[in-house]
Structure 1
Amino acid sequence: MSNTIKFQIIDVFTSEPFGGNPLAIFDKADGLSAEQMLKIAKELNLSESVFLNQATAEADVKMRIFTPGMELPTAGHPTIGTAFYLLKEKGIQPKKQNELHLEQNIGNLKVQYEKIGNEISKILMEQPLPKFEQTFKDKKLVASLLSIEENEIEEDFPCRIVNCGNPFLMVPVKTLSSVQNLRLNNELFNEILDEIFITGVMAFTLETDHPDHLTHSRMFAPHIGVPEDPATGSAHGPLACYLHNYNMADLSELSIGEQGYELGRPSQIKMRIVQEDGKISKVLVGGSCVPIGNGEIRIPE
């Protein structure tokens, strides 16, 4: 193996360059150890970096996902970005028509897509079915975590952990201005993490910047090297399930969640819930991508 490895950067969950969430993708990374991947991810300091390896017989490719702080079992914007890269930039021919299978640490994930000529559209990942976990009954504690007042959190809906591969604490906030002005209390967050692990805190409201969007959100995960994420696909699956479970919104058609506006990286994440016999049968999350550039980096020893 050469002492350098090439990568491509793609902005995910946006149709405009320099919006959304940037992703670095390293192809042919089979020779790298987990320690080397983590060092490279920390050097680039993006929310996530992806390293592609040869897959098992069932999948089209194996991908490993690293934040600057740790490896993740799954993640949304790396999945969508990798699918776009493989289909559009690399021209891969998946084993199944209109369905890409990506091997991740939680197993194989399906990504649906449509292809018209050379254009790839409607990239949607199918996330694991939700697990509704611990409820934080002390809303005063949650308000302190976000540096807001307790009455800024919705009274009729719980602060609850929802897991579609990664556990996120969902916090329903009343107004857009409250979400825009909140600040994560890192000291209190570390105290909560001593009791229970969560991937991040997802604060959201049904008030939005764009009238056609359903939600406005911010996601914080400083313990995994992501102080605030511009776009979090793996949190929008749980968000869609939360909205559906508590009858806050109809997710039977594709809806758009906005994120990253406070960071100057506007992002639009598509989400949808499919039901069978009154139960959630599919959790779909997707969006658009824009190639930004490429380069190479020295492989750490």
Structure 2
Amino acid sequence: METRQVLLADAFAEEPMAGNPAGVVPEADGLADDQLAAIANELGASETAFVLGSDEADRELRFFTPEQEVDLCGHATVAAHAALYERGAVDAGQSTMATAAGVLDVEVKDDGTVWMDQGRVDLREVDLPLADAADALGIDAAALRDVGADLPPAVGDAGFPWLLVPVNYFEHLGNVAVDREAVVDLCERVDAMGLYAFTFDTLGGASTLHGRAFAPRAGIAEDPVTGTAAGAVAAHVRRQGVVDETVDPVVVEQGHFRDRPGTVRVETDGVEAWVGGRAVTTLDGTLTVPPADETDDIIEV
């Protein structure tokens, strides 16, 4: 049976068992789609990054949740490049990666910090009754008012479309009781894949925002620390003028309610975004890969 090296790395963290765990397969060339899906399901991380050769970039990355392939994943990108750098497979400096969301730049600093170019962030305000968002989160609608001078809900897409919902106080964000079906319905209505609730009321003095990410449409009940959401929400608050240029980078904290605290740094002008963070490898081993299903070229989940 064929085996491949597999890793688990905690992204947006500087110590193990924090941040967001991502699967990483450093050499995924030759694996069929159903094998990639099976590996991601076996590893069980919210996303697994598969590193492949590319004719249009320095490497290609594909991303799978345990249920489906997604165009881009920030924390898995950081995890993959940090792991590759740690093993000498990539050098410090800037390189490119091909993804389903396009060819993007990645920079690895000498200290192992990984910065990923998310490109232009697609932002659109949505006409959404606050009561519906509050019901989906299981909190009072009053908790969604008077946030950042009535910052409007929006869908922000930095490779993964998030419904961005502002919450006034940290206490209310901590008390959410998510209705999974209501979140799915809400996201389908606004053409988003997940709901990202955030507040300016933070735990860390250096932090700008605290967020929580719920993406049941992608099979993710709650994601600990989310790069695509951080990039989208940072661009949103910058574009709305709630956070001015003196706040640079925008620092997004997340994961504390999952006991996996982490930090995402975002450089953005409100149009484009770069996200950065560290990662720590927590598991390095081999996995036996099932044979490819040659009768089915398309994975339906």
TM-score by length of 1: 0.90
2:48 alignment partner AA? S
Match of 2:81 in 1: 83
Query: Residue 87 of structure 1: CA displacement?
Result: 2.1
CA–CA distance in structure 2, aligned partners of residues 91 and 61 of structure 1: 11
CA–CA distance in structure 2, aligned partners of residues 134 and 254 of structure 1: 23
Kept in 1, the 8 Å contact 2:125–2:152? The answer is: no
Match of 1:67 in 2: 65
Q: Which runs of 5+ in 2 are unaligned?
A: 292-301
Q: Residue 40 in 1 paired to residue 39 in 2?
A: yes
Q: Residue 187 in 1 paired to residue 178 in 2?
A: no
Q: Residue 154 in 1 paired to residue 155 in 2?
A: no
What is the CA RMSD across the aligned residues, in angstroms? 1.7
2:112 alignment partner AA? I
After superposition, the Cα gap between the structure-2 partners of 1:12 and 1:159, relative to the gap in structure 1 and judged at 3 Å, is same
Match of 2:30 in 1: 31
Match of 1:17 in 2: 16
Q: 2:281 aligns with which of 257, 266, 291?
A: 291
Query: Residue 48 of structure 1: CA displacement?
Result: 0.6
Q: Residue 130 in 1 paired to residue 121 in 2?
A: yes
Q: 1:120 aligns with which of 109, 112, 118?
A: 112
Query: Residue 194 of structure 1: CA displacement?
Result: 4.5
Query: Residue 218 of structure 1: CA displacement?
Result: 0.3
Q: Residue 233 in 1 paired to residue 227 in 2?
A: yes
1:239 alignment partner AA? V
Kept in 1, the 8 Å contact 2:195–2:214? The answer is: yes
After superposition, the Cα gap between the structure-2 partners of 1:292 and 1:222, relative to the gap in structure 1 and judged at 3 Å, is same
Q: Secondary structure at the match of 2:27?
A: coil
Q: Secondary structure at the match of 1:136?
A: coil
Match of 2:262 in 1: 267
Paired residues for 1:98-113 under 5 Å: 98-113=93-108
1:144 alignment partner AA? D
Listed one character per residue, the Cα deviations across residues 178-211 of structure 1 (whole Å, up to 9, x for unaligned) are: 1111122112123334434312100000011111
Identity of aligned residues (%): 28
Listed one character per residue, the Cα deviations across residues 118-162 of structure 1 (whole Å, up to 9, x for unaligned) are: x433x2111121222251331111111111111100341111111
Q: Which runs of 5+ in 1 are unaligned?
A: 275-279
Listed one character per residue, the Cα deviations across residues 208-260 of structure 1 (whole Å, up to 9, x for unaligned) are: 11111111110001221210001100111111111101222135522321101
Q: 2:132 aligns with which of 119, 133, 141?
A: 141
Listed one character per residue, the Cα deviations across residues 23-47 of structure 1 (whole Å, up to 9, x for unaligned) are: 1111221121112111221122111
Kept in 2, the 8 Å contact 1:24–1:49? The answer is: yes
Kept in 1, the 8 Å contact 2:183–2:216? The answer is: no
Kept in 1, the 8 Å contact 2:112–2:278? The answer is: no
TM-score by length of 2: 0.90
CA–CA distance in structure 2, aligned partners of residues 60 and 289 of structure 1: 21
Match of 2:243 in 1: 249
Kept in 2, the 8 Å contact 1:137–1:158? The answer is: no
Q: Residue 201 in 1 paired to residue 199 in 2?
A: no
Greater fraction of residues in strand:
1
Q: Say how many residue pairs are matched.
A: 287
CA–CA distance in structure 2, aligned partners of residues 25 and 220 of structure 1: 22
